[in-house]
Amino acid sequence: MKKEFFLVCFIAASFAFSIKKHDTPYQNPHHKWTYLFNGKDLHHWDTYLGPEYDSLSNQFTGTPLGLNNDPHHVFSVINLDGEKVLAISGQDFGGIISKDNFKNFHLQMKFKWGTKTWATKKGKKKDSGLLYYSVGKLGADFGFWMRSQEFQIEQGNVGDYWGVAGGAETVATRKVNDSTFIYDPQGTYRDFYEKSTFGRRCIKTSDNEKPDGQWNTIDLFCFNGKSIHMVNGKVLMVLGKSQQLDSGGKLISLDEGKIQIQSEGAQIYYKDIRIEPIDYFPKGY
């Protein structure tokens, strides 16, 4: 897929209404999908894995496993429920990274949890994540992930925002306490990133994840640095301004980059990973 998307010729007039009011993923007969998972292999992706976990010392030790080196087969294509899906075991931490950069897009994919947890996540909430606008050094965040914006995929927290390795977002929020902020379109705009006084996490407005074992659909809309996190047809957060920290600690624009899907200590399955260009942000947001 080209780095710069062509403009979409037509998007249905009901676009904004459908994503705002319906509780199922919005349908548009004029989609221009490109499938990033072909059901056979990781043709559109590279893999990157950080240091292995030492269960004796209870820490990650040694050098990173690195780029396209997956000795434990963390990433595989399997047959599940009669269809081919991407399986991520979670045994080693890292992720798959798109070979292309993307700007101004709508990304949609489905996930459901497996049963296993590993390392520091063993016995805890199952965790993964969709990282977008990914740039810079491999393994910049704790040795595992590139600088990026995170659409959180964690049990009970799907749709949250995390700033990864210098990624920053401006979001309207209401304050619960000094470390807890919840998305509120009528709230105060705050910047979230690792060096911010507000922290780097913003909590979604509500929960819309399906029960464990069922497939969930997530939609991510990105246009000119503004984003929407949508879970099973419901908008859970609108993010107003994507930025990153430069070498001098100044916030600068971040509106293009790669896609990462995390392996973070939990077994998870993905399917129907697809992306399309958009030439305007959904109306009403």
List the one residue out of 245, 228, 230, 71 whose CA is nearest residue 147: 245
With a CB cutoff of 8 Å and minimum separation 6, the contacts of 179 are: 199
> 11-20, 46-55, 91-100, 210-219 — which is least confidently predicted?
11-20
- Residue-wise pLDDT for 198-247, tens only, equals 999 999 999 999 999 999 999 999 999 999 999 999 999 999 999 999 99
CA dist 165 and 240 (Å) reads 19
Mean pLDDT over 132-146 rounds to 98
Question: Is the per-residue pLDDT at 142 higher than 60?
Answer: yes
| Superfamily of 29-277 according to CATH | Exo-inulinase; domain 1 (2.60.120.560)
User: In which residue are the tokens 């990274």 written?
Assistant: 97
- Residue-wise pLDDT for 76-120, tens only, equals 999 999 999 999 999 999 999 999 999 999 999 999 999 999 999
Mean pLDDT over 17-31 rounds to 50
In this prediction, residue 20 has a pLDDT band, given cuts at 50, 70 and 90, of very low
What is the value of pTM for the model shown? 0.90
R_g over Cα of the chain: 18
Average pLDDT, the chain: 91
pLDDT in the model for residue 135: 98
> What are 24's two structure tokens?
């199922």
